Amino acid sequence: MTTFNICKNDGSSLRNLLLLLRCFDLAAGLRENLNKSSIMCLRSDPTMTSRIASEIGCKVASFSLRYLGLPLRAGQVCKVDWLNLIATLDTRLSSWHGRLLSRAGRLTLINCVITASTGYLLSLFRATKWVIKQIDNRRRKFFWVGLDNISLRGKCLIRWNSLTCSKADGVLGILDVGAHNIARLRSWIWKLIMGEGFLWIGILESLYGDVRSWIMRRSFIRRASPI
């Protein structure tokens, strides 16, 4: 289990953090292993980071890791961070005998497993066109032929974009990953405007002030713009 303890990179904050860990040891009867712990400093001098690590007795790590399945880095999500998701989809597809399944069975697996597996990352990060294309290629090939090593030439009976329309339009209603990604990201703005009592909203407001009013003004300007 990975636990993050966040504090300022000054002497008093580090002493308070070590004191809290010591109190946890006494209360829980456990003991932290500093040899297995790592320290990561953002916007700090590498010399200071090494000095702090030597004083605490832990290792120095870079801020580029995965936590709860999410890539954490000081910057935008890179193409490498999406490869784990693509590899997970390939592993699941290779374990299924798609040729032995009916089209209805493949459709159920696509909607309930493959597409659902992408929802966690797509609700937090904006996927690039390359990522959307890789996901759709795997879903399309599994639906039409069931195997990855068979060509799709002559096997697709209808355009993939037509299959992602609503069932009310008379098609299969496969989820449009790109549109779903944008909708999930914009839902965070809706939660920020309408939500009350969320801890993450309080953190944003303590750091940046009245974030809701700023977003409301930006939304009003965009709606009022003739462009």
pLDDT, tens only, 39-60: 777 777 778 778 777 777 788 8
Candidate ranges 119-123, 157-161, 195-199; pick with highest mean pLDDT: 119-123
Residue 223 has pLDDT above 60, yes or no: no
Q: How far apart are CA 137 and CA 133, in angstroms?
A: 6
For residue 78 the two structure tokens come to 């890179």
β-pair partners for 52: none
Q: How far apart are CA 193 and CA 81, in angstroms?
A: 30
Reported as a pLDDT band with limits 50, 70 and 90, residue 227 is: very low
Torsion of CA 136, 139, 144, 150, to 10 degrees: 90
pLDDT score recorded for residue 130: 92
CB 5 within 8 A of CB 19: no
Identify residue 89 by its one-letter amino acid code.
L
Q: How far apart are CA 71 and CA 62, in angstroms?
A: 13
CB 39 within 8 A of CB 60: yes
pTM: 0.72
Per-residue model confidence as pLDDT tens digits over 142-196? 888 877 666 656 567 777 777 777 777 777 778 889 989 999 988 888 888 877 6
| Average pLDDT of the segment spanning 209-227 | 61
| Average pLDDT of the segment spanning 107-133 | 89
pLDDT score recorded for residue 224: 41
Computed over every residue of the chain, the mean pLDDT equals 79
Residue 7 has pLDDT above 50, yes or no: yes
